[in-house]
Amino acid sequence: MVKFVLFALGIAVIVATGMMIDAQSSPPAVRQVDQAAEFRIFALGRVEGITSEIELRSQLTGRIVELPITEGQFVEQGELLLVLDDQQHLYQVALATAEVELSRANLAHLVNGAHPQERAEAAALYRAKLGELDLAKRAWARISELLKAKAVSQQKADDQKGQVVVLTAEVDAAKARLEQIEAAARADEVRMDEARIQAAEARLELAKVQLERTRIYAPCRGQILKVDVEAGELTGPDSTESAIAMVDTTKFQVRAFVEEIDAPRVKVGMAAIVRADGLPDREFKGRVVRLSPRMGRKQLWSDRPAERYDTKTREVWIELEERESLVVGLRVDVMIDPRSLAPETTAPQDTAAPPTTH
């Protein structure tokens, strides 16, 4: 029994000695550190279209008569989205159109002058007055001779002389009327009528603008995100909520918020990878296309215990290569790799060009 115990102890000593020798001869274990992770920039972001959310409001207060869209619908640029009651504005356009036509007709009448019948009437009246004046003058000549011979009374002579004076004035008036009708339009009168036409045309254009404002059209191609009104409802520029919200979804981009410690390292052209919690098996590749020229308040939070809430962030826009499965407004995690930009590559830090000095 004692021999067996001693034999077992001997074997144990030999095994332990061998293990010590092997441990001393093996190289020490080196902890593998992902050095690439030390250079990456991590940030929170959210998915957007090419444009930010576009809020559309009516410029006029009115009742909605047409609303041919629904939320989620894709629309083309210029497509009709909403129509207000436009009856009053249609009447205003018709009234302004009539004023323009009337002003143009007045100018044409001024330039063309009187009708031939009016000219003939004025000429005939002038000739008639001339004839009456000639008869009155002859009668006055005879009465003057009779007055010298005291064959007529002074009263009759004075009456005849007064008639000559009256007919002379009527002849002058008839002649002036004829000359006015036959004369060409004066330059100042033409300018006055032309100014009236311009004023009427301006009122017409203003009425058309007001009529056009009874309709809302899509400013770009995109998707309707929200419709906050219904047909029959009263809406206007002072409404609390916008009537329609849409975004250009031709492409998707991510607006990332890089914290101030990493903000100076971000440059246009850097590659980025985007991940979403709801799509754990997907990675969306993209590239930094625009940088904000200033820092701002933090807008997204991860709710991690060690997260700082008082830090500032720089907005960075990343254009994605694909858009499948993404939703506008989806919160995502962003990883930007500064090493993806070649050292000799120079890229602008923001979209605004520096001012030129002369």
Domain boundaries, the chain: 39-51+248-340, 57-85+214-241, 94-209
pLDDT at residue number 229:
93
Rounded Cα distance between 332 and 12, Å, is 58
CATH topology of domain 57-85+214-241: OB fold (Dihydrolipoamide Acetyltransferase, E2P) (2.40.50)
CB 24: neighbour CB atoms within 10 A?
A: 7
Are 286 and 337 in contact by the 8 Å Cβ rule? The answer is no
Q: Tell me the pLDDT of the chain (358 aa) as tens digits.
A: 555 555 555 666 565 665 665 555 555 444 444 444 567 899 999 999 988 889 999 999 999 999 999 999 999 999 999 999 999 999 999 999 999 999 999 988 888 877 778 777 878 887 887 888 888 888 888 888 777 777 778 888 788 888 888 888 888 888 888 777 777 778 888 899 999 999 999 999 999 999 999 999 999 999 999 999 999 999 999 988 899 999 998 889 999 999 989 999 999 999 999 999 888 889 999 999 999 999 988 777 666 655 666 788 999 999 998 878 888 889 999 999 998 886 654 445 554 444 444 3
- Helical residues (DSSP H) of 261-343, grouped into ranges: none
Are 207 and 86 in contact by the 8 Å Cβ rule? The answer is no
pLDDT at residue number 187:
87
Q: Which of 284, 233, 294, 287 is nearest to 263 (CA)?
A: 294
Sequence-ordered list of residues with C-beta below 8 angstroms from that of 103, at least 6 positions apart, any chain: 193, 196, 197, 199, 200
Are 275 and 333 in contact by the 8 Å Cβ rule? The answer is yes
| Max CA distance (Å), the chain | 199
Rounded Cα distance between 257 and 314, Å, is 5
pLDDT at residue number 6:
54
Q: Which of 216, 189, 248, 208 is nearest to 59 (CA)?
A: 216
pLDDT at residue number 335:
95
| E strand spans, the chain | 41-49, 54-56, 62-66, 74-75, 80-84, 215-217, 222-227, 234-235, 244-247, 252-259, 271-276, 279-297, 312-320, 331-337
Sequence-ordered list of residues with C-beta below 8 angstroms from that of 215, at least 6 positions apart, any chain: 80, 82, 83, 84, 86
Q: Interior CA angle at 71 toward 65 and 73, to 5°?
A: 100
Ramachandran sector of residue 46 (left: φ over 0; alpha: ψ -120 to 50; beta: rest)? beta
Q: What is the pTM of this model?
A: 0.63
pLDDT at residue number 355:
42
Place of tokens 């625009």: 290
* Domain at 39-51+248-340: CATH code: 2.40.30.170
pLDDT at residue number 13:
57
Residue type, 130: L
Q: Interior CA angle at 24 toward 23 and 25, to 5°?
A: 95
pLDDT at residue number 123:
80
pLDDT at residue number 320:
93
Structure tokens at 228: 């906050």
